[in-house]
Amino acid sequence: MKLLLIEDEKALATSIQNYFQRENFICEWAADYETGIEKVNIYRYDCVLIDIMLPDGDGLDAVRELKKKFPETGIIIISAKNSLDDRISGLNLGSDDYLTKPFHLSELNARVQAVIRRRNFQGNQQIVFGKISIDPQEHSATVARQEVILTRKEYDLLVYLIANKNRVLTKESIAEHLWGDDADLMDNFDFIYTHIKNLRKKLMDKGAPDYLKSIYGVGYKFSES
Amino acid sequence: MKLLARILRYQIMTSLLVLFLGAGLFFVSVRYLIDDEVNKELLNSQIKVSWQLRNIDALPVYILQLGDSLQLDAVRYPRRPILREKLLYNIAENQYHPYRQLIFYERVEGQWYKVTISKLLVQRQQLMNAVVMTVTFIVALLLISLLVLNSVLSGRIWRPFNKTLAALDQYQLEKHEVLKFPEEETEEFEKLNQSVTQLTERLATTYQNLKEFTENAAHEIQTPLAVILSKIEGLFQDETLTESQLIALSEVSEAANRLSKLNQALLLLTKIENRQFLAGTEPVNLSPIINRKLRDLEDLIDQRRINIKTELQPTGPVMHPALAEVLVNNLLTNAIRHNLQNGSILIALSTGKLEVKNTGNAINGNPEQLFERFRKDTSQSASLGLGLALVKTICQVNGQTLSYNIENEWHVLTVTWQ
């Protein structure tokens, strides 16, 4: 998979690049609008991440141009602006998703994967991890062809964990993924623990190995080893 | 005390003083003139009487005018003539009347006579009456005209002033208003209005600048925060970290996350205050929003075993849909956060009113203080303390009223709109 990141903040760009490299994605970086447009015109990308506040141009223009020339490329807007109007105009222009700074890299990763899955396979592709397979259209999960009945939150959690497999996920990022803006309601992270516990139990009941590793004080890691 | 009433008071006091002084002066001067006239008449009479006495030796009956009297008394020696005033008793009318008397001495055939001519001072009394009546009349007229003038003045001339005052009374800094007034004829009021306009202009600009600064500051913080959070997340993936390093890192991460949340909430708050959210154009039905939020918050509600009851009618205020979301979200999360284990929440939505009631611990002090920013119950440390401040601000910019009441164990937050 090939990504393009148009972002003027070098430190943030490096982090994002590193994160995706571990995912075996090629993540190219353009530091300004000019370079970004140039690259878009030369190469083909599966997904473009655009900061709409660039020093030399409006990222929304880039979205517009990209949409016109390469409608099949996925677009995710990253912005420090949470302004609703921006969000709506960004999505109206055809961007697939909108993420407000600051965000968790794991969240970005999950969204990029969702966009690519939707774009490349019209959402039909099964997500497979070890013995687990997920049908994103049906919102259902199976372990060795046996259906696992999951609640909405457990399903979201599972997809998120698989999207960020082999990585340490912080409790905050999980909480924010599951509850969004309400995440600050979590007076403690017991809720996550409950969901994790239930999910693990349901998966293991159907014969899946224990993929979930708890990392003390930090969060969780979903991996086969 | 009203300015006009104060002025009126001085006006009345001064006019009364002037009137009475004037009346006194008038009385004295007229009396002097009359006395002078009477004296002249008396002296004329004296000449007549003397002439008669000396030359004719007998007094005709009607030598003097009717009402005057002449009296002759034989005396041994003459004295200096006297001109005096005296009250004489009138038997017919049974009362005293003032008389002016001229007493002089005349020798007739070697005998001295004391001649007393008395003249009734009827005019004087009439004059007194006239003066008193006139003064009373003028005083009454003056008072009435002053009062009428006063009410006319306060109604008409002071109207622009009262208008300005009313506008200032209604003035709200948060609305970024500049007060403008129509041109006034009165110079002072025109100046006042100009000053008020300039003042509110300066206020609005300063307030706007301040808000913009807050927003920009919060905005600028987002990017470095994003860098910090991304670096932390990158570090977490480093498998060479020891457990204690991981824990320290996780604490850094938690704090940075909290900072980011706080910043986002502040940004939203200033954004709403800056009226960057478009005003709503049509009523937003709150009922589906409430139901959706309740579904989103389901696991929190279940975990605390909170019993939810709703009475929802499909209605809502005119506002921006995004703000309606934030409003509902904050009201509900507040009701859940400050609830008791096994508590209850009642949500009632009806025309012009949304009421969220929840069970909760008693709070000290004025519940309305909870609308202040960062005001929070210390036991709920995860709270940012901005939730109700946001609700309050949203209500403010949309012209809704928000009230917080405590009825027994129930905490009641009510939003009302037109």
Per-residue H/E/C for A109-133: HHHHHHHHHHHHHCCCCCEEECCEE
A127-222 has which fold? Arc Repressor Mutant, subunit A (1.10.10)
**H-only helix segments in A164-208:** 171-179, 190-205
For strands A26-30 and A2-6, give the pairing.
parallel
Chain A CB contacts of B261 below 8 Å: 183-184
Residue A17: pLDDT over 60: yes
* Chain B nearest C-alpha distance from A198 (Å): 13
In angstroms, the first-to-last Cα distance of chain A is 24
pLDDT at position A201, please? 92
Q: Within its chain, how far is the Cα of B51 from the centroid? A: 82
* Domain assignments of chain A as residue spans, ordered by start: 2-121, 127-222
- CA within 13 Å, CB half, A35: 13
Q: Complex ipTM, two decimals?
A: 0.83
The DSSP letter of residue B405 is E
Among B265, B256, B222, smallest CA distance to A12 is for B222
Q: Are the Cβ atoms of A170 and B233 closer than 8 angstroms?
A: yes
In sequence order, which ranges of chain A are alpha helices (DSSP H)? 10-22, 33-42, 59-69, 84-92, 105-121, 152-163, 171-179, 190-205
Residue-wise pLDDT tens for chain B (418 aa)? 777 788 888 888 888 888 888 888 888 888 888 888 888 888 888 888 888 877 776 666 566 665 677 888 888 888 888 888 888 887 877 888 888 888 888 887 788 888 888 888 776 778 778 878 888 888 888 888 888 888 887 778 888 888 889 988 888 777 777 888 888 888 888 999 999 999 999 998 888 888 778 878 877 888 888 899 999 988 988 888 888 898 899 889 888 888 888 888 888 888 787 766 666 778 899 999 999 989 888 888 888 889 999 999 999 998 888 888 889 988 998 888 888 889 999 999 999 999 999 998 877 667 777 777 766 655 555 566 778 888 888 898 888 899 988 887 888 999 999 8
Question: Which of residues A217 and B21 earns the better pLDDT score?
Answer: B21
Tell me if B382 and A182 make a contact (CB, 8 A cut-off). no
What percent of chain A clears pLDDT 70, i.e. is strictly above it?
A: 91
CB contact set of A92 (below 8 Å; sequence gap of 6+): none
pLDDT for res B268: 81
Protein fold of B286-416:
Heat Shock Protein 90 (3.30.565)
CB contact under 8 A, B227 and A12: yes
Dist CA B286 CA B326 (whole Å): 11
Domain residue spans in chain B?
A: 3-152, 172-276, 286-416
Q: Which of A13, A16, A18 shows the shortest CA–CA distance to A30? A: A13
Check pLDDT > 80 for residue A214.
yes
B114 neighbors B9 (Cβ within 8 angstroms): no
Homologous superfamily of domain range A2-121: Response regulator (3.40.50.2300)
Instruction: Give CA–CA dist B266/B218, Å, rounded.
Output: 7
Q: How distant, in Å, are the alpha carbons of B308, B367, B404 from that of B413? A: 15, 10, 5
Return residues 257-296 of B near A (CB < 8 Å).
Answer: 257, 260-261, 264, 267-268, 271, 276-278, 296
pLDDT at A83: 63
The answer to whether the beta carbons of residues A83 and B276 sit under 8 Å apart is yes
Q: Note whether B237 contacts A167, CB cutoff 8 Å.
A: yes
> Residue A185 above 70 pLDDT?
no
Please give the torsion angle defined by the CA atoms of residues B95, B97, B102 and B106, in that order, rounded to the nearest 10 degrees: -30
- The minimal CB distance from A15 to the residues B234, B300, B303 is found for B234
The pLDDT value recorded for residue A181 is 66
pLDDT in the model for residue B65: 63
Residue B337 touches partner A, C-beta closer than 8 Å: yes
Choose from B221, B230, B325, B327 for mutation: most chain A CBs within 10 A: B230
